[in-house]
Amino acid sequence: MMRRHSRIKRILSLLLSLALLISLAPAALAASPTQVVALKINSPWCVIGSETTTIDTANDKVVPVAESGRTLVPIARILEAFGGSATWVPETNGVLCSLNGIEVELTLNTTTALVNGESVTLDVPAKAMNSRTFVPVRFVSESLGLTVQYEPTNQIVVVADGDVDASALTSLSQVKTLIEKTTPKAEPTTLTQQSYALPSGTVSAKVITVNMSDPRVSVKAALPDNKLNNTRAFSDICAASGAVAVINANYFQSYNAIKDPIGHVMVNGQFLYGSTGLNSLGITADNKMTFGRPAMFFRVKTTDGGKAQEWSGYECNVLSQFANQSVLYTPARGASFPVTYPGAVLVVENGVTTTYRTVASGETIAIPANGFVLYSSNEVTSTAWYQIPEMGRAVTIEPYLFANADSEGFELEGVQSIVSGGPILIKDGAVVSQMESLFANDTSGRFSVNGSAPRTAVGATADNKLVLVSVSSGTIQQMRELMSQLGCVDAFCLDGGGSTAMYYKGQTLASPGRQLTTTLQVFVSE
């Protein structure tokens, strides 16, 4: 008998524990929402699940409004997201809201509503605004079995079909998306025009700062029509570009009949000019910046899977050939180029080798519009390692750095735009005190430490800002001090003097005294 009684006690104890668990289950296992809608007071935007849309697809002027501490909103899109509906009832001059077998009927300008036929008093009545019926979102939603939370900092209302943590609303993906959508974004470019007090004197400068971390920004080098020896009025360059900011870039042979740039020029990932020796700025497609003085080579190599062959050119589209040199010539050079030293040319059309022959000094070599020419002097072709090209081979051009690196840290991978200039002002955060020989030997005095002239410069800050500067008059020393004061960790001068040019948002800030070739252009997408 005692054994049977003990068994009964154990059964009763088990049943009691089970009952306790059942009673606690709703609190412990609160339903997670399967659908979340986020909307913002005074904004037409809302987020329904993973979709960012407007509350009223036919009228983006319709926005939720706050009245007497309650949020009024056209409810139709919200209810539809949960499988419900909102229907206008002309007989009662009201709206019928339905979800999960529950009906809520409201009448315009009346504080009495019906919930499944039962009369309920409202704090704020339904109203007609902008040809739409606005209802109190919390009352209607909660009456239909939904949950409502309010995030006061950003004035966002969250409606869900399950419990949501009121203290963690900003962690919801819908709320994050809505905040990002409705928060005004900082301008990716700014212009500052002011005087700067420097150790060596005061200069008046125009400074364009570009946030390279902003995905709306792109910065590109440009040549008029992508052709060398092609100048254009600065006003025409700016008008044709569609850019928000433009500054002159490379020095060029402005007093020569052929007005070639000095230094490297890469446009949209293609070298239009390659002349080693000057400081260069490279910009990747994802707006990473790299500074250095890269020694550029151009490898032409076979890609058809047959016997491997490759040849290298040291520079691109330069006219100043010398005795021991290979040069790559592309359509950017024009229709032809002259031969200075005897040698040989390899002609490539449509990616295939078509012609290889010797050439004499004084010859003019045609450049195919759909290909390129690799010129090599006799001193190059006579070396033991030189390979006679085979015709009919598929080849490609591969730019590369000497020894695959640059002593000053330039990185070529991914670079889409390159401009060059000098002298260097700041390198790796340190103000440079020495003048490169190319500029130190200048007889005009433009590059003396104390010589004042109109100047432009380009630099980069540690937080990935591109800095474009124009001064009407300044010394090299003042440019060093100015770029340092502006927070640049790398910087060098661009062409100056009569080439000094700057444009920003429809305004020419510095007008050059001559037509220009290379420019650096800043674009901002919507």
Mean pLDDT across the stretch 256-272? 95
Eight-state DSSP code of residue 526: -
Omega before 423 within 30 of 0, i.e. cis: yes
Mean pLDDT across the stretch 308-329? 94
Give the CATH fold of the 296-405 domain: Jelly Rolls (2.60.120)
**Could you please report the per-residue DSSP string of 422-440?**
--EEEETTEE--SPPHHHH
The pair of three-digit structure tokens given for residue 369, joined into one six-digit string: 């519009």
Domain residue spans of the chain? 36-182, 185-294+408-526, 296-405
Q: Centre a 10 Å sphere on the Cβ of residue 284 and count the other Cβ atoms it contains.
A: 18
The pair of three-digit structure tokens given for residue 11, joined into one six-digit string: 């059964």
Question: Locate tokens 């010394």: which residue?
Answer: 475
C-alpha 278/C-alpha 297 separation (Å) is 15
Contact of 111 with 130, CB cutoff 8 Å = no
Mean pLDDT across the stretch 422-437? 90
Question: Locate tokens 């500074």: which residue?
Answer: 291
Q: Kindly give the pairing relationship between strand 201-211 and strand 465-474.
A: antiparallel
C-alpha 451/C-alpha 445 separation (Å) is 6
Question: Locate tokens 């900011």: which residue?
Answer: 245
Per-residue pLDDT tens over the stretch 460-516: 999 999 999 999 999 999 999 999 999 999 999 999 999 999 999 999 999 999 999
Q: Centre a 10 Å sphere on the Cβ of residue 362 and count the other Cβ atoms it contains.
A: 9
SS3 451: coil
177 has pLDDT over 80: yes
C-alpha 94/C-alpha 7 separation (Å) is 64
pLDDT at residue 434, rounded to an integer: 82
Eight-state DSSP code of residue 483: H
CA 301 to chain CA centroid, nearest Å: 33
pLDDT at residue 73, rounded to an integer: 96
The pair of three-digit structure tokens given for residue 509, joined into one six-digit string: 């800030």
Per-residue pLDDT tens over the stretch 336-370: 999 999 999 999 999 999 999 999 999 999 999 99
Write the burial class of residue 231 (CB in 10 Å: 0-12 exposed, 13-18 middle, 19+ buried).
Answer: middle
pLDDT at residue 403, rounded to an integer: 66
Percent of the chain at pLDDT > 70 equals 92
The continuous run of DSSP H or E covering 471 comes out as strand 465-474
Percent of the chain at pLDDT > 90 equals 83
4 has pLDDT over 50: no
Question: What radius of gyration, in Å, describes the C-alpha atoms of the chain?
Answer: 35
The sign one gets for the Cα dihedral 209, 215, 216, 221 is positive
* Torsion from C-alpha of 226, 227, 233, 235, nearest 10 degrees: 0
pLDDT at residue 12, rounded to an integer: 40
Structure-model confidence comparison of residues 98 and 320, the more confident one: 98
Nearest CA among 64, 73, 33 for reference residue 173: 33
405 has pLDDT over 70: no
Q: Kindly give the pairing relationship between strand 364-366 and strand 279-284.
A: unpaired
Nearest CA among 206, 266, 120 for reference residue 505: 206
Per-residue pLDDT tens over the stretch 40-68: 999 999 999 999 999 998 888 899 999 99
C-alpha 228/C-alpha 99 separation (Å) is 69
Nearest CA among 479, 504, 509, 505 for reference residue 494: 479
C-alpha 37/C-alpha 73 separation (Å) is 13
94 has pLDDT over 50: yes
Give 3-state DSSP helix, strand, coil % of the chain, rounded to 5: 20, 40, 40
8 has pLDDT over 60: no
Give the CATH fold of the 36-182 domain: Copper Amine Oxidase; Chain A, domain 1 (3.30.457)
pLDDT at residue 32, rounded to an integer: 84
Q: Does the fold of domain 296-405 match that of domain 36-182?
A: no
pLDDT at residue 439, rounded to an integer: 82
Eight-state DSSP code of residue 286: T
111 has pLDDT over 90: yes
